[in-house]
Structure 1
Amino acid sequence: MAVSTQQQLLPEIDEFVTRMPKVELHLHLEGAIRPSTLLALAERNDVDLPARDEAGVAQLFNYHNFHEFLTIFMVLARSLTTGRDFEQVAYELGEDLAKQRVRYAEVMISPVQYHRRALDLDEVVQGAASGFARATREYGVRFGLVFDYGRQFGVELAWQLLEHAIRNMPYGVVGWSIGGDEINHPPEPFAGVFAAARRAGLQVMAHAGEVVGPASVWGAIDALGVRRVGHGIRSIDDPELITALRMRNIVLDVCPTSNVRTGAVSGLDAHPLRRLFDAGVPLTINTDDPVFFNTTLCNEYRMATRLFGFTADDLTRIALTGAHAAFLPETDSLALAHELEEEIAGLRAELGI
């Protein structure tokens, strides 16, 4: 059923989207690397990429399905080799987010990619942390790091990599997640790993309901005890699940353009973003892999307004949901929400919306 309606974006709404302070909670570092940087890193680290210029990199991003996307994602991640590399891409991401008025972002890294190449995960995390710290000093954007484990690599390795995540909590690791092959690897076997992550003080989330139905989301919230679900769009198929998400205040981190590009939905007209929001499910809007999917957070917000009729009130609610759902200490989360609320109110008064 088509749910989107093409609307003209009013100038004052466009400016509001551009200038409003935002939070991004579903963002992969490896999918946010500038193509020019990707090529430079590959040359510096003597990595053979299936592309020789930025146009070639762009061509790689023409995915036909989710598994093809995962394959390209892993190929390009090979360009990241040293702590210096991670520092550079983290800092550049901070620059890009600051231009979009993002005040806080949670950024996932895929530890299996580096463990399998025998990289030092401490160096990986601490390199990224250094780049983020520089971006915080220069631009005021704050960051949390999340280990996003590829579930297809099994439970045993997850235990090993969880130890690295816990050890690097002093360097900004705030969360643990599973992503990867949702079709062949349900969440339930990872229940013990997630329980251990929570005991150690990490917050937990999971990719679920992206390419698999509601059972995947039920497993994530019941077996894994997550506070947030990455994507979660298949929840719309189960009214009981919608009620559970609303009543338990479990947030869906929705990535509309990503869902189209990976084939999780056939097109934006089939995307359940508006229906999920109208059903009272708490959600945020995110980019997932902004360079891979040729989008920005501002563009995702604009699309929500232009195609799904989101108002300034709706976008404000989404931004504040992000602040409250962030993997921050409660006092910091409340302070972030208050900061956003005050600035948005002033901006709306200035623009008359």
Structure 2
Amino acid sequence: MNAPVTVPKAELHCHIEGAAPPNLVKRLANQHGMDVSSVLNGNGKYVWSDFTTFLKAYDVASGVFKTPSDYALLSETYFRMLAAEGAIYGEVFISPDHAQAAGLSYRSYVEGLAAGIERAKDETAIEGRLIAIGVRHFGTASVERVVKEVIGNPHPLVTGFGLAGDERSGHPANFSKAFRMACEAGLGTTAHAGEFGGPDSIIAALDFLRVKRLGHGVRAIEDKDLVKRLADEDIVLEVCPGSNVSLGVYTHLRFHPVNLLRKEGVKITLNSDDPPFFGTTLGKEYSSVAKTFGWSFEDQMTITRTAIEAAFCDEATRNRLLVRLDSAVEDRVGE
């Protein structure tokens, strides 16, 4: 009897520095003579207790990536892990601000990450793209500087621009110029909203940034009219259930609104956000959500199809990915 067909997966929302496996962080820390014992316990797991200590652990772990080859190793490692779980496509958020803190130019940072993605692709056939993010609590000038750097140093794998950081800091109206520049340059756009901020943060992101994708967006469930708007306007949510539960946005997966939003016709994708920090992987997100809400193979395939259709990639790549998805359906029928 043949092994059951694995659901092909796709990810749109993962921070590359937040995807660093603890063993890789420890290895590079030793190499660079750094101490990361404050954020890694004896079991090789990240140590944090709330959002503030999570950010501290994230920054300490990110600090071990110093060179383009360090970043190449990080992206290759993560994309290989994705492929091993059946993923055929992944987008990761990259942070030019982190690169600057490490003393790297934006160009060398991107070249390192791209080299790792290409190595993973050569071995596993996984496709990858990069989304540069501005950090809203660094202010308007900082976010505009990031988008200018991205536009001024084009790279074929950098296909999107996004906004992350503290949702309570900086109204989306402050970043409308940066997003207009990104759109005019042909970049796909997305913004974190509706995670720690409520429905108002989502409405502001839609009105002022004109995005067709939202990072998280789950707090829309608190506003019936907003849920209808998301469905009517085909806004795609990059939902990260494991992350939301770990950070206390919801107390338990069964109380997470991902299934309610889906039933209301909102386009949903599943994502891991900062996987090792939250004890998750993309594969775990698919399996835990499917188990909790009784999603079928077909339901999960719809999630992947939604992600591929909303991906910031060229049409030729998108069509190839959709062919791979369709062949998985045929394989299942043939079992």
TM-score, reference length from structure 1: 0.89
Q: In the alignment, which residue of structure 2 is the partner of 1:106?
A: 91
Give, in angstroms, the shift of residue 266 of structure 1. 2.0
Asked if residue 93 in structure 1 is aligned to residue 75 in structure 2, the reply is no
Indicate the SS of the match to 2:278. Answer: coil
Tell me if structure 1 keeps the 8 A contact 2:10–2:90.
yes
Q: In the alignment, which residue of structure 2 is the partner of 1:277?
A: 262
Asked if residue 63 in structure 1 is aligned to residue 80 in structure 2, the reply is no
Give, in angstroms, the shift of residue 116 of structure 1. 3.4
Asked if residue 126 in structure 1 is aligned to residue 118 in structure 2, the reply is no
Q: In the alignment, which residue of structure 2 is the partner of 1:4?
A: none
Structure 2 CA distance for partners of 1:117 and 1:294, relative to 1, 3 Å = same
Give, in angstroms, the shift of residue 96 of structure 1. 0.5
Q: Which letter does structure 1 place at the counterpart of 2:311?
A: A
Asked if residue 225 in structure 1 is aligned to residue 223 in structure 2, the reply is no
Asked if residue 320 in structure 1 is aligned to residue 305 in structure 2, the reply is yes
The aligned length equals: 334
Q: Which letter does structure 1 place at the counterpart of 2:82?
A: L
Structure 2 CA distance for partners of 1:283 and 1:68, relative to 1, 3 Å = same
- Provide the identity percentage: 34
Deviation per CA, 1:281-310: give whole Å up to 9, x if none.
001011111111111111111111211111
Report which stretch shifted further, 123-132 or 34-43.
34-43
Give, in angstroms, the shift of residue 241 of structure 1. 1.1
Give, in angstroms, the shift of residue 236 of structure 1. 0.6
Deviation per CA, 1:201-225: give whole Å up to 9, x if none.
1110011101111111111112101
Deviation per CA, 1:54-76: give whole Å up to 9, x if none.
6365151x432x33322221221
Structure 2 CA distance for partners of 1:345 and 1:220, relative to 1, 3 Å = farther
Give, in angstroms, the shift of residue 311 of structure 1. 1.5
Asked if residue 46 in structure 1 is aligned to residue 33 in structure 2, the reply is yes
Indicate the SS of the match to 1:26. Answer: coil
What CA RMSD, in Å, does the superposition of the two structures yield over aligned residues? 1.9
**Equivalent runs, 1:105-184 vs 2, <5 Å:** 105-184=90-169
Q: Which letter does structure 2 place at the counterpart of 1:182?
A: E
d(CA) in 2 for partners of 1:86 and 1:54? 23
**Partner residue of 2:12 out of 20, 25, 36:** 25
Give ranges in structure 1 of 5+ residues lacking alignment: 1-11
Tell me if structure 2 keeps the 8 A contact 1:36–1:54.
no
Structure 2 CA distance for partners of 1:182 and 1:308, relative to 1, 3 Å = same
Q: Which letter does structure 1 place at the counterpart of 2:169?
A: N
Asked if residue 310 in structure 1 is aligned to residue 329 in structure 2, the reply is no
Deviation per CA, 1:170-210: give whole Å up to 9, x if none.
24111111111112233221110000011111110011101
Give, in angstroms, the shift of residue 48 of structure 1. 2.8
Q: Which letter does structure 1 place at the counterpart of 2:181?
A: A
Q: What stretches of structure 1 move > 6 A for 4+ residues in a row?
A: none
d(CA) in 1 for partners of 2:32 and 2:46? 22
Tell me if structure 2 keeps the 8 A contact 1:20–1:101.
yes
